[in-house]
Amino acid sequence: MEVMESTRQQKVARQIQKDISDIFLKECSDTVAGAMVSVTRVRMSPDLGYAKAYLSIFPFDKNEEIMAKIERDNWKIRKALGTRIRFQLKALPELAFFLDDSLEYINNIDELLKKDNQ
């Protein structure tokens, strides 16, 4: 059963999603070098102390490599996030990154359909 997020959780999640996307683009470009990383969704815990960020990585064959680099640089990403949201939240949430493979799934289905039509 999925619990509805409060308006505050949703607002904080949207802000963190935007900020993490910007951090990947500007401050952690070395971490995601050679790949396009999109933050597809962020879920916040009710106390706003924990954020789950779901990432989509392209090209798909770099998923494991890029996720390992992101985990290694989690502290760097969290620090950059802290400078951006320090006046909006009392405490900086812990960050956890998960792979959102829905785009890869769609791409695989698309490839299968193309093969079927040939």
Residue 98 lies in a domain: yes
Residue 107 lies in a domain: yes
Mean pLDDT in residue range 35-49: 93
Residue 37 lies in a domain: yes
Residue 1 lies in a domain: no
Domain that holds residue 82: 7-117
Give residue 1's pLDDT.
43
Residue 68 lies in a domain: yes
Residue 2 lies in a domain: no
Task: Grade residue 3 by pLDDT with cuts at 50, 70 and 90.
Answer: low
What distance in Å separates the CA atoms of residue 23 and residue 69, rounded to the nearest whole number?
Answer: 14
Residue 62 lies in a domain: yes
Residues 62-100 have pLDDT tens digits of 889 999 999 999 999 999 999 999 888 889 999 999 998
Residues 25-35 have pLDDT tens digits of 999 888 888 88
Contact 71, 55 (CB under 8 A): no
The CATH number for 103's domain is 3.30.300.20
Mean pLDDT in residue range 34-42: 91
pTM for the model: 0.82
Query: Element (H or E) spanning 107, and its range?
Result: helix 102-117
Sheet holding 94-99, edge to edge: 36-44, 50-58, 94-99
Count of domains for the chain: 1
